[in-house]
Every structure is written in structure tokens, then in C-alpha cells.
Structure 1
Amino acid sequence: MDKIFGCYRGGVISDPSRFAAIAVLGDDLRRGMYAFIRRAGRAVTRDEAARSAGISRKLAAFHLDKLVDAGLLATRYEHPGGLRRVGRAPKVYEPSSLAVQVSIPPREPVLLAGILIDAVRAEAPGETADQAARRLARDRGRRLGEDERAALRGGRLGAERALTCAEQVLERHGFEPARDAPTLVRLRNCPFHPLAAEAPDLVCGINHAFLSGFLDGLDAPTVHAALKPEPGHCCVELGVTDHPE
């Protein structure tokens, strides 16, 4: 996708390696060996992986190398049991730190969980957990907006330019923005679903605060986030106002 207004910095997929890993796991043999190695709780030799899949050592090596190339497995040379023996230690395989999870459109449970955890830790005297969550969500959104504003070239950020930037940033976070009009962006996906269905008032309030904070940080006073829940859409839409708050 082309860079627009100096704002776009990446696509919907923040880490393409995860999709490469998912493609590699589409093969039944690789998926089986990967599951075996994860369950083993220790580094596994090529021979052990081959026996687990009922294939030759040479074919196992081919599939194991694919898993390594995709970042799913890490390798080193080690004698079984860590014992020192004569001769070269065999190559062993163990799971890497790459977490593989896919959702289309993407979800943001980590962002929401982080806000809620911070709210529990930072609840101010006389402040409810709900109020703390909204305050911290707005702070997080503001920091995101400030980072994006700093990456822009100088000059005034007009309403349409601000909406374009917001579209591209929020696309990366799974909101699926759609420009229904030059001055209106509807968000067709809630990245916090299905948690929003469990506690809509809380989650939608956090979402609204996060997006409002983002616009504050972006320094876009003519654009506002409004709570307008609709079935099958995010509860917030971004629009232009003639009288910024």
C-alpha cells in the first residue's frame, strides 16, 4: 500500500512472520512434529521427530528445516540428556518464542487486558474501576496519537488528512475503517470482540476513550469520536465537527 500523507507505517499485519508460520503449519506432518516437540518439554533430536511422525530421518530433516526457517523452532547441538559424549553432538530442536495466533480481522485482547490491568493497579482514590479504565485507555490512545503525529511531516493537520491518518493507524489495530464520506469514518470491526459482547458498557466505554485519546494525541481538534453502536460494527465512528471540544 502506498504511503499517504507520511502517515502509513505498516499494514494490517504487524508481523508477517506469523502468517509465514501458519502457512508452514498447513502441512500435516510438520504440524504433527511441531506439536510433538512442544509437548516434549525438552529439546528433541531429528531421529525422535522422525519416529513421532513415522517418516524417514531425511524427510523429517526437510520438514524440521521448514519449521526452523519459519521461526517456529530453534536449534542447537547437544547430546541427549546434556551428557558429554565422544563425537559431534546432534542437532536438536525446541520451540521458539514465536507465538502463532491469527484472527481475521485481527483482535486486540492484549491491548484491552493491559488497560484493565493498569486500571486495577492505578485506580485513584474516589475513582471507580470503570473510570480508571477509561482514563488509562484515553492515555494510551493519546500516546499512540502523539507517536503518529511526531512521524508526520510538519504542517497543519486538517480534518480529512487527520481522518486518512486515523484510518491507516486503526486498520493496523483491526478496526477495519471505511471512509463512508469525506468527513466520516465508520469502523466495521470491534477488535475487542467477543469481550465487548460480554460487557458492552465497559468495553465500549474503554474503546471510545482510547479513540478519543488517539485523536487528542494526533492533534486533530476538528475530528471527534462518537459512540454510535450498530449491529455488526464497532461502537465508535469518527467524524468532523465544526465546533471542536
Structure 2
Amino acid sequence: MGLDQASLTALAALGDATRRRMFDFIRRARRPVTREETAETLGISRKLAAFHLDKLVDAGLLRTRYEAPAGIRKVGRRPKVYEPVDEAIAVSVPERRYEMLADVLTEAVLTEAAGESAREAALRVAHGRGRFLGEADRERVRPGRLGAERGLSLAAEALEGLGYEPERAAPALLRLRNCPFHPLAAKAPDLICAVNQSFLTGYLRGLGSDRTTAVLAPRPGACCVELRGARPPGGSPRTDAACER
């Protein structure tokens, strides 16, 4: 199926590298931003920022209104702010990884064992894929024994490259702001979210991050899984320094 006109217009607008960076910054900010903030972040003039922002508005990627950012009240005219539209566009923004999911499900069908359900096969393959990637990263980084916080930091680096958009919500909590498998996950959450969790669990095990777990924690507009640091017996989360002494 081809792209509709709206998606073609959006794709054309994002063909410019500056606009692509601009849209990515605003989408990740998770709040309305001003022209001044955008210009400063991208290192361009306010006038140039305004030009590109208006192009993104015309393409239907951003909407605008007048509002004091972050709830700040000021006397006089409120500044113009920009934020992404609610509707997703079909141009891989945010990043999707359908090919990775397709590979997992295809291998599951081809290797399904006697007495094993299709779901069990998918979870097995996803865990194996994740473990393979984790072991490769461990071999590359050679981090030694991993505490919870260091394990989450290493995981965040890898998951950023896979399109999960990790966010460190707390020292022992890594939230994933983007689901690489959406909207398929929305259509079949019981299967796709379980595959996702199994993949991430396998990655943590391969990385050797035994003090972290992948937990189902669905949130609107975000990945259904988050990574948490485990609590040691009888106490609060252990720091990396304590684990690695």
C-alpha cells in the first residue's frame, strides 16, 4: 500500500536534515517548546528556526498555540509554542522495527517444536535474539560485574539504537518512551508485548545484568515494558559501587 498525501507531505518536510532534527527534539521534549528553545538546541538563529517550524506546521507534523512554557506566568503576550500532533504518521517517526519482529515470528514458525505452542516458540526465539545481542555487547564493552544502575546505563545505550527511546526516570528505573512494534502491539498486546518483554529479558541476561528485570508496565503512548533494578535481599537497591567492590 502506498503512502497517502498527508504522509507524503510529512515525508517531504522531514527530508531536510534541520527539520528532521527539529522534529525529533520537539517530539522527545514531551512538552510544548518555543522557537527560542529550538534555535538554541539546534544552534541556529531564531529566524531560521521559525522558518523551519512553520514548515513543519504546514506539513501537519506540529501544531502551535500561545502559551507560557512549563507553566511560567509572564506579563504581556504569551510566547508561541510548538508540539507534535497527536496522530502518528506513516514515515517511521518514531522509529519502528517491524523487520525485527517479523524475523522473530518467522523463526518461531519454522522452529516450533512438538508440544510447543506458537506463542511459546515466539517467546523462546525472542529471548534468544535478545540474549545474543546482549552477549555481543558484553563482549564488546567487557564491563565486569554489573550492578543495577550500571546495567541499566549499558542497556539504555543499546536500546537507544533499537528505537526504544530510553528515559532514566530514576537511578534504578529505565522507561522506554517508544514502542518499536507499535501499532502491531496495540492490535495484539498479549502476544507482541510478551515477545517484547522476552526479548528485553534475554538482552539483560546476555549482558550479564542480573540485577535488572524487564517488567510489563503499559503506559499510554509508550513501550509496554520498563527495566527496573532489583532490590537486594532485605534492603534498598544496591549501587554499582557496592556491587563491584
Q: TM-score category by the smaller chain? A: 0.5 to 0.7
Instruction: Give the aligned partner of residue 176 of structure 1.
Output: 165
Q: How does 1:1-245 map to 2 (within 5 A)?
A: 22-23=15-16, 102-243=91-232
Deviation, structure 1 residue 154: 4.6
Task: Give 2:28's aligned residue.
Answer: none
Question: Which residue number in structure 2 is paired with residue 51 of structure 1?
Answer: none
For the pair shown, which has the larger CA radius of gyration, 1 or 2?
A: 1
Alignment-mate amino acid for residue 175 of structure 1:
Y
Give the whole-Å Cα distance in 1 for the aligned partners of 2:208 and 2:156: 15
Q: Is the 8 A contact 1:174 1:191 kept in 2?
A: yes
8 Å CA contact 2:148–2:230 kept in 1: the answer is no
Structure number with higher relative contact order (C-alpha < 8 Å, ≥ 6 residues apart): 1
Distance 2:156 2:145 in 1: 18
Q: 1:134: Cα distance to partner? A: 0.4
Q: Given the two structures, how large is their TM-score scaled by the length of structure 2?
A: 0.58
Note the residue ranges of structure 2 that are not aligned, 5 or more in a row.
1-13, 20-89, 234-245
Q: TM-score, normalised by structure 1?
A: 0.58
Aligned-partner SS, 1:239: strand
Residue 100 of structure 2 aligns to which amino acid in structure 1?
L
Where structure 1 has 5 or more consecutive residues not aligned to the other structure, the ranges are: 1-20, 27-100
Identity of aligned residues (%): 53
Tell me how far 1:113 sits from its aligned partner. Answer: 0.2
- How far off its partner does 1:242 sit? 2.3
SS of equivalent residue, structure 1 residue 213: helix
**Contact 1:119–1:133 under 8 Å retained in 2:** yes
CA distance in 1, matches of 2:227, 2:115: 31
Please state how far the C-alpha of 1:23 moved relative to its aligned partner.
Answer: 4.7
The answer to whether the 8 Å contact 1:105/1:176 transfers is no
How far apart are the structure 1 equivalents of 2:139 and 2:185? 31
Deviation at 1:232, TM superposition (A): 1.1
Give the partner amino acid of 2:183. Answer: P
2:92 alignment partner, SS class: coil
Look up the SS of the partner of 1:237 in the other structure: strand
Give the paired residue count.
150
Distance 1:154 1:108 in 2: 27
RMSD, aligned CA? 2.3
Q: Is the contact between residue 146 and residue 211 of structure 2 (CA under 8 Å) also seen in structure 1?
A: no
1:85-130 CA distances to partner (integer Å, 9 max, x unpaired)? xxxxxxxxxxxxxxxx951221000000000000110101111101
Deviation at 1:152, TM superposition (A): 0.9
Structure 2 CA distance for partners of 1:243 and 1:209, relative to 1, 3 Å = farther
Distance 1:111 1:140 in 2: 10
Secondary structure at the counterpart of residue 168 of structure 2: strand
